[in-house]
Amino acid sequence: MSSESHSSTLQQTIYHPAVQGIPLIALAGQPNVGKSTIFNLLTGLNQHVGNWPGKTVERKEGRFKMDGIDYRLVDLPGTYSLTANSPEELITREFILTEKPDLVVAMVNAANLERSLYLVAELVALSAPLVVVLNMMDVARQEGLNIEANVLQAALGVPVVTMSATHAASTAELVKTIKQMVTSDIVQNPRLPEIRADHQVILNEMLELIKGYVPEVYPENWVALKLLEGDKEITNKMIALMPADKWNAIHDLLKDHDDALLAIASGRYEWIGRLTRAAVTHPRLGQISLTDRLDRWATHPFFGLVLLALILGAVFGLTFTLGSPAQEWMDARLITPFGELVAGWLSSGPLWLQSLVVDGIIGGVGSVLTFLPILVIFFAAFGFLEDVGYMARAAYVMDNFMHWMGLHGKSFLPLFLGFGCNVPAVIGSRVIDTKKSRILTILLAPFVPCTARMAVVAFLAPAFFGNRAVWVIWGLVLFSLVMMVLLGVILNRVLFKGERTALIMEMPLYHVPNLRTIGMLVWQRSISFVKKAGTIILGISVVIWALSMLPDGNIENSLLASIGKLSEPVGRWMGMDWKLTVALLTSFVAKENAIATLGILFGGTEGTGLAQTLSAIYTPATALAFLTVSLLFIPCVATLAVIKQETGSWKWTALNIGLMLVVSIASASLVFHLATAAGL
C-alpha cells in the first residue's frame, strides 16, 4: 500500500460482480444538489420514510421498476463531507461500508462543481462502485459554464451522467447507466485524491502504524486519512482495537501534525481542480446573478428583517384565513357528527363503552386531528421556504439575536413555527446541524405559545379584563418569550457549558420550487402525525378519559378530581382551586381541553356563559395566574410524542416536562402574588 501511495496517480481497483437479486442503489450527495427531487422522480409514492436505527435522521427507502428490473433505492442523508461531524455523515459512510450497496449514485451540482465534488473525493476512497450524476446542467449553462461530461468521466475513472434538475425524462440516461452497471461486472479504477505533498511522509508513517489492526470492512488508506483528520469515531474505534503502546505512537504522530486535516482537505481540492480544469472549458461569467440581486434585500440587516416579518406575517395570515376555518369545519362537520354517529351505533351497549369511544377516543384523538389543517399549512410553508432557498436567509438575518440563547440562526424558523403549533416546531428542528443546538431548540420550542393555548387565553381574558384584555394577552405572550430566552441562556450555560455555536452555512442559489418535493414532504409529515394520533395520543387520551370517569362516571368524584384535589395545595400557590387544577391537567391531551373541562365542571355551560360564570367566581389575580400556568404548562401529548421521536430519548423528554412544570408553577405563583398585592 505504502509504495503505491508514492506513485503520482494513486489508483485503487474496485471490482463488483453483476448483481443477483434486487440491486441495492444508494443515493448520495451534498445538500442543495436536488437529491430528493431525483429520489421522488424515481420512486414516486412507492417509498417508505422512517428513521435510521437509533438515530433521529430520516431514512428514505423506495423501490422502482424499469425495463423489467426491480431496484431498491436508499436516499442517504445530504452531507458535505464524510468526517463524523454529524449523525448524517456517520450514517452515510457506515451504510456504504457495511451494507455494501451494489452501486452508489453520487449527485453533484453542475453549477457548483468545485464544491460539490468534495463529497465524491471522499466517496471514491470508500471502494464502492460509483456513478456520478451532474445535476442542474441547465443552471450551469445559464451561468456560462460548459462542462464536458465525457472528459470528466475519463479523468475521474467512473461513469458520469448529466441531468437537468426537474424533468422526468432526464432520469432516462441515469436509469440506463444504472442498469448497465448492475447487470454486468463492474471494474473501476478511479483516480484517488492525494494528501498535500508535505504530508505524504506522515500518511505513510500512519499506514505503517495501523497495518494489521484495521477491521476488514474499512479500507486501510481511508482509516489512515480519517485518523489524520481527527475523526472522533474512527479514533475511538482504533484506540479500542490497538495495543496501548502502538496507539501511543499514533497519538504522538497526531499531536505533532494537528494541521493534517487541512493538508488532506487541500489534497481533495487539488484533485477536484485537476478534474475541473480538464472538463470545464468556459469560465464563470462575471454577471450579477438573480441570487446576488435578491440577497441585497433578503440578507440586509434592516430590510432583511422587514422581508422576514412580511413573509412570516403572510404565513400567519394564511393560517388564520384557511387553517382556522378548516379546523372549525373539521370539528363541527367531521369529528362531532362522527362521534354522534358512533354513539348511535353503541346506544344498545353499555354506557361506559359509549363514553370511552365517543368522549375518550373520538374526543381526544379527534381534537388533536383537527390541528391537521394548520399543520399542513405550516409544513407546506416550511417546505416551500426551504425549497426556494429562503430558509438560509431567514437564519442569516436572525443569527445575531439567536446567539443570546446559545443558538444560531438556523433555530429561528423552527421556533417561529411554534406559534402555529409546537409539533412542526419540534420536527422542523431537523434543519439544525449540531446536536447541541437541535436539543436546545427542541427544549425551548414548547415555550412558544401555540394557537391552541392562545385560544384558551383569548377565551378567558376578555371576561376578566374587558377592554384591557388585549394588553394582558400581549403581556402573556411576551412573558412566555422572555422566559424562553432566559431559559435558553441558562440551559446553554448549565447543560452545554456555554459551548460556542458558530454559524457555518451554505447560502444556496434561489430556485423555482419543486411542488412535487414540497408535496411529498407535507404528505410524509402529515401521515407521520396521523399515525402518532392513532397510537401514543390514542393511548394517553384513553388514560385521561379513564381517570376522569372512574369510579362512578362523574368527573366531580373521579380519580382525576382526586388528583386535582391532591394537588390543590400546589394549585393554591397560584390561587387556583381543584377545578382549575383539573382543567389544567386535562390540557395535557390538547391545550384547548382546559375550556371543555371547565365547561363540564361548571355544569355544562359553554361559550360566553361559561366565561361569565368564571369571572363571577374567580378574581382577576387567579385568572391571570391560570392563564400564565396554561401558557407555560407541560407540552401537550402530541408535542411530547414528537419530542421523544426527535430527541430519541426519554431523558430529554422528561427534562422538558420537569422544566416546564417548574417554570409554569413558579411563574404563575409569582404572578398571582404580585397581582394580589397590586389589588387585582
In the complex, which residues of this chain contact another protein (CB under 8 A)? 80-81, 83, 85, 112, 114-115, 118, 229-230, 258, 261-262, 265-266, 269, 284, 291-292, 295, 299, 301, 392, 395-396, 399-400, 403, 408-409, 500-509
User: Concatenated DSSP letters for 193-232?
Assistant: P---GGGHHHHHHHHHHHTTTS-TTS-HHHHHHHHHTT-H
CB nearer to another protein: give 176 or 284.
284
CB nearer to another protein: give 116 or 628.
116
Q: What residues does 51 pair with on adjacent strands?
A: 58
Mark 217-239 as b/e (b = at least 16 C-beta within 10 Å).
Answer: ebbbbbbbbbbbbebeebbebbe
In the chain the first and final C-alpha atoms are separated, in Å, by: 82
CB nearer to another protein: give 78 or 373.
78
Residue 640: other Cβ atoms inside 10 A: 22
What 3 state SS string does 596-652 have? HHHHHHCCCCCHHHHHHHHHHHCCHHHHHHHHHHHHHCCCCHHHHHHHHHHHCCHHH
Least spacing, CB of residue 672 vs another protein, in Å: 40
- Rounded to the nearest angstrom, the gap between the alpha carbon of residue 653 and the centroid of all alpha carbons in its chain is 16
Cα gap 294→189, rounded to integer Å: 44
- Rounded to the nearest angstrom, the gap between the alpha carbon of residue 656 and the centroid of all alpha carbons in its chain is 18
CB nearer to another protein: give 2 or 276.
276
Least spacing, CB of residue 160 vs another protein, in Å: 19
C-alpha cell at 221: 488508506
Instruction: Name, in order, each residue with C-beta under 8 angstroms of 430's C-beta and a sequence gap of 6 or more.
Output: 56, 58, 438, 646
CB nearer to another protein: give 81 or 319.
81
Least spacing, CB of residue 47 vs another protein, in Å: 28
CB nearer to another protein: give 509 or 583.
509
C-alpha cell at 644: 421523544
Contact by Cβ (8 Å): 588, 640 = no
Cα gap 109→588, rounded to integer Å: 47
* Residue of 200, 213, 165, 15 whose CA lies nearest to 512: 165
Mark 115-127 as b/e (b = at least 16 C-beta within 10 Å).
Answer: ebbbbbbbbbbbb
Cα gap 569→132, rounded to integer Å: 67
CB nearer to another protein: give 143 or 205.
143
Contact by Cβ (8 Å): 70, 179 = no
C-alpha cell at 471: 394588553
CB nearer to another protein: give 75 or 295.
295
* Residue of 453, 382, 456, 369 whose CA lies nearest to 413: 382
* Residue of 31, 48, 122, 112 whose CA lies nearest to 81: 122
C-alpha cell at 455: 385560544
CB nearer to another protein: give 123 or 641.
123
CB nearer to another protein: give 254 or 546.
254
Least spacing, CB of residue 261 vs another protein, in Å: 6
Least spacing, CB of residue 225 vs another protein, in Å: 12
Secondary structure element (H or E) that encloses residue 60, with its range: strand 58-66
CB nearer to another protein: give 266 or 528.
266
Least spacing, CB of residue 625 vs another protein, in Å: 39
Least spacing, CB of residue 80 vs another protein, in Å: 4
**DSSP three-state, residue 8:** coil
Cα gap 259→261, rounded to integer Å: 5
Least spacing, CB of residue 658 vs another protein, in Å: 30
CB nearer to another protein: give 268 or 579.
268
CB nearer to another protein: give 103 or 117.
117
Cα gap 266→264, rounded to integer Å: 5
Least spacing, CB of residue 500 vs another protein, in Å: 7
**DSSP three-state, residue 465:** helix
Least spacing, CB of residue 400 vs another protein, in Å: 5
Least spacing, CB of residue 504 vs another protein, in Å: 5
CB nearer to another protein: give 396 or 672.
396
Task: Name the residue type at position 134.
Answer: L
CB nearer to another protein: give 218 or 396.
396
Least spacing, CB of residue 190 vs another protein, in Å: 20
CB nearer to another protein: give 264 or 448.
264
Least spacing, CB of residue 511 vs another protein, in Å: 14
Least spacing, CB of residue 89 vs another protein, in Å: 9
* Residue of 62, 58, 72 whose CA lies nearest to 40: 62
Secondary structure element (H or E) that encloses residue 584, with its range: helix 578-586
Q: What is the DSSP letter of 446?
A: G
* Residue of 473, 480, 425 whose CA lies nearest to 447: 480
Contact by Cβ (8 Å): 206, 228 = yes
Least spacing, CB of residue 392 vs another protein, in Å: 7
Instruction: Name, in order, each residue with C-beta under 8 angstroms of 680's C-beta and a sequence gap of 6 or more.
Output: 619, 620, 621, 624
Least spacing, CB of residue 650 vs another protein, in Å: 28
